[in-house]
A and B are shown apart, each in its own frame.
Chain A
């Protein structure tokens, strides 16, 4: 009697209260062993009088939760999906961004973009950027997270300080970096000279060899917080017993880390990798603030973000006649498609190697 024993657990997917036709899974103390059986007799009479409302139907039970998501979904559709679709549409014209001259040119913008060298040069810079930052996040970030996981004194303070660059506006902090790096009024060169490293002093952001490394360094300083937080969360989810068990079995700290901890961090590894990929291929502020919209010096720090900005709005605010909005949108669409494909591939690849604790 009573299907209570086979009743599924009462999860979030089923928000509507049980109707009088069903038994409610019993949650009263002492009745767990006979789930569903004990309360049957008394509940239905009261249930019948209270539950004649909109949530009675089985449709509402199964899909009622979507109503809760509707407002956010509406915002998402209006502000993200609709403009994206409109952008796809605009990229098929030759609109300059000013005035109302629209001529349909189909995929002309895409052809031009895919055969233009600056696009590939910028993409290559993004790739170098990504590889370096990724290596940095997964080594330095992980190391710091491991240290913090050992709960040293002032752990909260360190964590806050490390995450602060993420929170502060890069436009403001980037501007301060340009002042530090300036060969005329900066702090870095005098500091190097003061400790006898004067031969290293140079015009950092104008140097064709060092400009991109310096920009990458500033970005690394800015995003280190993400790696620390993500890895720290991952580490705190690993049960201590596993590491202790390995220790009892005679594993060294390094072996424990390599064989037990790190494999269990693979969800964090996945999240961080995908996050970094998207962050770095979208990078704009750090480059714009440090080296300007032209990707000084001579395109060494030009990235896809500055390329699109420059193409969409013209350079230096003087030549709106050189704005090419539709062409810039086409470049953005290309970037979007490539990034979506690579992100999907990354997630699929990395998920396969994830291990559940």
Chain B
């Protein structure tokens, strides 16, 4: 009799326990992967604002270091374990995800009236919307330490020649003229893109993409030559220095200049809150103009297997509004929202100014020239060490250009 009573009491307690989570199920949790651990707090503040305005939806943020992000995301997509909100690089990556059925079509489901034209271009494939830019875009120019330059009476270089002449002068003061961590090939790829964009401009790059101009043409070849000539300006051990260490070195003032993007600024101030940086366009090569390149900080899509589709759409729509965009542009990086401008950040204002001279879309977002980045990264060290001539380097890059790619 007694054992019968305690048995049913136990069963009753178990049933009650099972029922408990059902009440909490009103809350939807969306997983969200991002590739900037150095922004974690700032992104979390934006997410907290969203959750305050939308109780019942919880966004679980996971930050993955940049170089590890693509391998991890692609593996997760193939394994069916990708998060609810997926960050992808615009262009070929979005197309591949769409063709494989990993993401939900968003045409007509989100309000894109605030997004800039370049932002929309990056997110659409054949006129349909598959992802939205919401955590900014980045523009890459040339950062320099204002105090160091002012103390020594230097001016930021406007042409490639001026830059090369300035290097030995800066070196004589015991400072590395330019910090360029080249271990994984990313910085050299950007340096090449900036140098070549200086000569080509947006129109010239479109011509390269159509196959009408080549990276081995005599005028564009100057970019490969300049990259090789730039090597002596780098810090000691640049070839073996990783990107993260390089950014820290620059923030701490061990170098006078560094090619960097608006997205790097947050990392610089985290390492050294007192840092005082100015931005100029990348110096103009002979016959060209000072240049910047701009790319998306990822575009965001909804996993086709998510159980919280409505919540995810709510989240994306909210992120496209002006309030989060203002938070992005004030604390993180430039925004793709046309209604906001940096309200209190001098350095970012200079970056925006710099991008008005000759801004080109970052090359890897175009399928025809997407591989140029990888080839440049793989071969830059050989170019620096003079084991490869600029002609060979340019030829390798040109070989990876495919006007027929989609």
Contacts and interface: CB of A to CB of B under 8 A. Distances in A.
B254 A298 contact: no
Interface stretch (B18-26, B119-127, B269-277, B367-375): B367-375
A111 to B, nearest CB: 19
A320 B241 contact: no
A317 B186 CA distance: 9
A184 B254 CA distance: 8
Given A182-B237, A320-B93, A291 B183 contact: yes
B77 A205 contact: no
A292 B184 CA distance: 6
Interface stretch (A13-21, A96-104, A122-130): A96-104
B245 interface: yes
Number of contact residues on B: which range applies? 35 or more
Interface in A183-234: 183-185, 203-206, 208, 211
B183 A294 contact: yes
Contacts of A168: none
Interface string B51-68: 000000000000000111
B224 to A, nearest CB: 16
Interface string A283-326: 00000000111101111000000000010111111111111000
Contacts, number: 142
B387 A315 contact: no
Contacts of B71: 312-314, 317
Interface string B144-182: 000000000000000000000000000000000000001
B237 A183 contact: yes
Interface in B361-386: 364, 367, 370-371, 373-374, 377-378, 381-382, 384-385
Contact of B240 (A96, A100, A205): A205
Contact of B185 (A99, A204, A315): A315
Given A315-B374, A316-B67, A321-B93, A297 B240 contact: yes
Q: Which of B77, B189, B237 has the most CB of A within 10 A?
A: B237
A298 B385 contact: yes
Given A99-B99, A313-B70, A319 B184 contact: no
B59 to A, nearest CB: 23
Nearest to B372: A319
Contact of A205 (B66, B68, B237, B371): B237
B69 interface: yes
A178 interface: yes
Nearest to B384: A298
B92 A321 contact: yes
B227 interface: no
B237 A184 contact: yes
A321 B385 CA distance: 27
Interface string A68-102: 00000000000000000000000000001111110
Contact of A323 (B74, B99, B239, B377): B74
A183 B234 CA distance: 13
A317 B70 contact: yes
B230 to A, nearest CB: 16
B406 to A, nearest CB: 11
B89 A318 contact: yes
Contacts of A321: 91-93, 364, 367, 370-371
B97 interface: yes
25 contacts: A97-B78, A99-B96, A100-B101, A178-B245, A184-B235, A203-B239, A204-B237, A206-B240, A291-B183, A291-B240, A294-B183, A296-B239, A297-B240, A298-B385, A314-B70, A316-B67, A316-B189, A316-B374, A316-B377, A317-B71, A319-B374, A321-B92, A321-B367, A322-B370, A322-B371
- The 4 closest A-B CB pairs, nearest first, are A203-B237, A205-B240, A99-B96, A206-B240
